[in-house]
Chain A
Amino acid sequence: MKVKVKQVLINLFILGSVIVALTSGYRFGS
């Protein structure tokens, strides 16, 4: 179970990275 929670968090981080890295929204340079 703990392994699954860890995997969910890792995958959310990866998915978040996809969006944050390749998005273009202007605020403070992000």
Chain B
Amino acid sequence: MVYDGIVLSLLIGWFRGGSLKGLAHMKLRGGWLFPLLLALQFVIFFLQEKVAWIAKMSNVIFLLVYITGLVFLWLNRHQPGLPVIFAGVLLNFIVMAANGGRMPVSVEAAQFLGREYIEALKAGLYAKHQAITSDTLLPFLGDIIPLSPPYPRQQVISIGDVVMNVGAFLFIQHLMLSAPRHGKGNAGEEKVTASVNQ
């Protein structure tokens, strides 16, 4: 579900006659910041077992990452789909903030991932997640939706994740369908090529 929504959006946008060229016109204020936020989370993930203070502060850092992300998404709220992405991130942030900076995960919903993941979850080995217990606040906003087989990429996701992907879908559709077309260009020809290839 992480990037599946983007791939699906690109495919649907293409079948609707949109063009990938439209993505060249995407303008996000502070867009450069999001890869940095992602990189920061990878750094935490890989260093949390080696550096004590990073492990200790990881929940605070995750919350700061989400706050920063929310601020920059808000700055881009005038773009189609971005308010929906903002709402999804806000839902994730609310439940994480209510639970000490960790995303609660339903052990029941995660069963299909295997024992290794369940044990890691209960042991708190993954800094961004923790198992839902009776003390968890707003558990319905946690990772409670299993994406199990036949879905190809098994995960447990939250309502916020679903909302985010809907927002990304709307944004990509807007970009692809508003792509400037020159002459007989792109989408029509692409459709013909696709049908020939099939």
Contacts and interface: CB of A to CB of B under 8 A. Distances in A.
A and B physically associate: yes
Interface of A: 4, 7-8, 11-30
A8 B128 contact: no
For the residues of A in contact with B, the DSSP-based class is helix
B44 to A, nearest CB: 9
B60 interface: no
Given A11-B23, A14-B28, A24-B129, 5 more contacts: A4-B24, A15-B168, A18-B69, A19-B164, A24-B158
Interface of B: 1-3, 5-6, 20-21, 23-24, 26, 28, 31-32, 34-35, 37-38, 41, 45, 65-66, 69, 73, 85, 88-89, 92, 96, 103, 105, 110, 113, 117, 121, 125-129, 143, 147, 153-158, 160-161, 164-165, 168, 171-172
Contacts of A19: 2-3, 5-6, 85, 164-165, 168
Nearest to B146: A26
A7 B24 contact: yes
A14 B157 CA distance: 21
Q: Please name the 8 residue pairs, one residue from A and one from B, whose CB atoms are nearest each other, closest first.
A: A29-B126, A21-B38, A17-B34, A7-B24, A11-B26, A25-B155, A17-B35, A21-B37
Contacts of B153: 27
B155 A21 contact: no
B85 A18 contact: yes
B63 to A, nearest CB: 12
Contact of B1 (A4, A12, A23): A23
A11 B96 CA distance: 28
Contact of A22 (B5, B69, B110, B126): B69
Q: Select the residue from B23, B96, B128, B160 with max chain A CB neighbours within 10 A.
A: B23
B34 A21 contact: yes
Contact of B2 (A8, A11, A23, A29): A23
Contacts of A8: 20-21, 23-24
Contacts of A28: 117, 126
A29 to B, nearest CB: 4
